[in-house]
A and B are shown apart, each in its own frame.
Chain A
Amino acid sequence: MTTSYKVMPGPEHFLPPSAASMGIRLPDPGQAHIHGTIVSEEEAMEQAARQFLSAKVPTIFPGPLVLWAWNDKAAKKAKAIRYLYETIKESVDSSQHAMLIPMPDYRPKYPKINPEIEINPNHPNLTIWHNKIDACMFVGVHCHQANLSLKIIRGGTNCYTIAMCAQAGHEDAMLSFRDATAEKILRLADWVKKLKGSVAPPA
């Protein structure tokens, strides 16, 4: 199936269609997608690094699968995520503000969450708007909750979304990797280092 639909930064509209329903398909192993077009993983690495380096507030959102050390793999990924965050922080200039904000819970919190310190999949835009986040990466968030968040963000904000997915990838992100491992996250950090200084910071 061919489609002219592109998964682009929004705001698209209140309830954007799921990208899958618009004909966007998932990458095969070794591949990734950018705006719904299948590309090599290396191309997506470069593009993701450029997004981080050119954003005002590049942010990583780790979810429960990596926040909790429930097995060795999770603990390794957490280490790699921290390294990626530190690398982004060191690679951007003083006008940029890198953030690392957890999604510790999927349950809606009443009366409200504190958007400065956490993100919740039922109303992720509170965190995006509050911190003026313009590029973000989800990692360690279960599929359904990631899809929900990615769609809401695309619907209501102009934030560029990246998914470092441990399964088959996310159509609803603007850029998605698949089969995430600690090594893959570290490779992305290497790309950030490599491109440091060569990407124009935000105007």
Chain B
Amino acid sequence: MSKERIKIAEELFDIMPAEYQDLVKRATYGNEQRGWKDIGNAKELIEEHSLCAGCPESMAFRYILASLPNPEDTVMVGSTGCTSLVFPHVAVHNIHSLFGNQNAIASGLKRALTVRFPDRPKDVVVLAGDGATVDIGLDMTLQAWFRQEKFTTICFDNELYANTGGQESGLMQKGFVAKMAPVGKTFEKVRLPEIARESGCHYVVNCTVSKPNLIEKVIKNAVHIAREIGPTYLQLYTPCILEIGKNSMEGLQEMRDSEKPTERFAYKEYVSEPAKELLAELAAKEKERKAEAKKQLAGQTA
């Protein structure tokens, strides 16, 4: 995998807008060690975004896009919601699906890619809001897991329907009052991470996006496990600062407050036995690679 496949025609290079030139010159396609530390050093795979200023979804997007292990061979599937406005700025193949249908689309897509490219790993990553994942799309979400479809589902959990002005969602907390849910939620937040585990997901994580290194780790694990073993699910808290009445600088603190040990986004992880084996194998390979690199470096400086 390399940038060779992404080349601007020489004669027209100078007229391409700078962001495309940058993608070709300074993005991290083909770099197997890519990760959150490239942010600020290399060209990111996200351009401007159209989210509210300070929306934690924008941080989440940046960390995820920096961490995808194989971006040039990844197709992301989105759904309607605040996230969908960002996808036009994302330099990874992506498909917008009808609201709620994302896991059905991803199932077909992953199967077709496997048939079409039997020798090349193609990763499919769904990224949708909680309304799309847990309410309107719950059927598609669960059925894909039951069928053991080999792709990753990421839910940006902001605990309501943000894009349409704040309606109640299954992932909203009990008792929460939103702009368009004035009575207050009458039942508990749906326990989708547990449901995911029981439905056959091999890797499930529930956390916030406050820590970029953690997001890198869970994204890489989720994508690798989905590629080799079966479905994986990440539920990431990306608070809608607009709907919970926070200022643009307060999103990070909100996430930190919500990930304390007794809070609903305390880090939770489930890894199936086959997935544990795979992660151990990958860790051993990584250790070997680092040792080899160290040896070579020592050889060069000797």
Contacts and interface: CB of A to CB of B under 8 A. Distances in A.
B7 interface: yes
A43 interface: no
Contacts of B7: 68-70
Given A117-B17, A118-B17, A110 B12 contact: no
A81 B17 contact: no
A75 B88 contact: no
A105 B12 contact: no
A69 B6 CA distance: 8
Contacts of B11: 78-79, 81-82
B268 interface: no
A23 B275 CA distance: 60
A17 B139 CA distance: 41
Given A110-B88, A111-B50, A104 B9 contact: no
Contact of B16 (A75, A79, A102): A102
Contacts of B10: 69, 75, 78-79
Given A67-B8, A67-B9, A75-B9, A102 B15 contact: yes
B88 A108 contact: yes
Contacts of B99: none
A109 B88 contact: yes
Given A108-B88, A109-B88, A69 B9 contact: yes
Tell me what chain A mostly uses at the interface: helix, strand, loop, or mixed.
loop
A81 B12 contact: yes
Interface residues of A, number: 25
Nearest to B18: A117
A62 B12 contact: yes
A66 interface: yes
Given A66-B9, A69-B7, A114 B17 contact: yes
Contacts of A114: 17
A74 interface: yes
B287 interface: no
Interface string B87-120: 1110000000000000000000000000000000
B20 interface: yes
A78 B88 contact: no
A118 B11 CA distance: 16
Interface string A55-96: 000000010001111100011001101100000000000000
B85 interface: yes
Given A111-B50, A114-B17, A67 B85 contact: no
Interface in B1-33: 6-12, 15-17, 20
Given A67-B16, A104-B16, A104-B20, A110 B50 contact: yes
A107 interface: yes
Contacts of A81: 11-12
Contacts of B20: 104
B12 A78 contact: yes
- Most A CB contacts (10 A, CB to CB) among B11, B20, B87 go to B11
A101 interface: yes
Nearest to A108: B88
Contacts of B15: 62, 100-102, 117
A90 to B, nearest CB: 16
Contacts of A102: 12, 15-17
Interface string A104-142: 110111110010011000000000000000000000000
- Most A CB contacts (10 A, CB to CB) among B12, B17, B20 go to B12
B69 to A, nearest CB: 24
A107 B48 CA distance: 14
A68 B88 contact: no
6 contacts: A67-B16, A75-B10, A100-B15, A102-B17, A110-B88, A110-B89
The 7 closest A-B pairs by CB, nearest first: A78-B9, A107-B88, A110-B50, A82-B11, A69-B9, A69-B7, A78-B11
